[in-house]
């Protein structure tokens, strides 16, 4: 492998590791459940994506073929992490977990909790 490819792979690995560290620190330090969800669903997902892309590029340049398994893992990660974060936030809302006092539009949480499923009447 030439120097340029190794440099790109190293930068992707450093970026991924840094984003995972930032996401982990955010998970520990942010004040409530709703803001804590942003750290793993945003920074950590992008960090893992950068590491997986570096792994795919390494496999491509080392073995000469693209790894379909690594591509599928990356796609699954980018699809499932935001959905999981949304479901955890919705569960926290229905469990009436307290949000920080600086939350804007906190009155909308009650509206969302009391919202009923649409009534599908057959004509």
Instruction: State the average pLDDT over residues 103-119.
Output: 69
Give me the pLDDT at residue 120, please.
63
Q: Is the pLDDT of residue 95 over 80?
A: yes
Give me the pLDDT at residue 122, please.
58
In our burial notation (b when 16+ CB lie closer than 10 A, e otherwise), range 67-104 reads eeebeebbeebeeebeeebeebbeebbeeeeebeeeee
**How far apart, in whole angstroms, are the C-alpha atoms of residue 35 and residue 99?**
9
- What does the pLDDT look like over 7-58, one tens digit per residue? 999 999 999 999 999 999 988 898 888 888 888 888 888 999 999 999 999 9
Q: Is the pLDDT of residue 123 over 70?
A: no
């Amino acid at each position: 492998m030439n120097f340029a490819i190794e440099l790109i792979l190293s930068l992707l690995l450093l970026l991924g590791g840094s984003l995972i560290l930032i996401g982990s620190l955010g998970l520990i330090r942010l004040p409530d459940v709703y803001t804590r969800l942003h750290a793993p669903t945003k920074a950590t997902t992008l960090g893992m994506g950068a590491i997986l892309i570096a792994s795919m590029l390494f496999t491509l340049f080392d073995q000469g073929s693209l790894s379909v398994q690594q591509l599928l893992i990356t796609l699954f990660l980018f699809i499932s992490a935001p959905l999981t974060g949304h479901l955890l936030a919705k569960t926290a809302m229905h469990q009436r977990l307290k949000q920080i006092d600086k939350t804007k539009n906190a009155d909308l949480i009650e509206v969302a909790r009391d919202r009923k499923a649409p009534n599908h009447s057959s004509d």
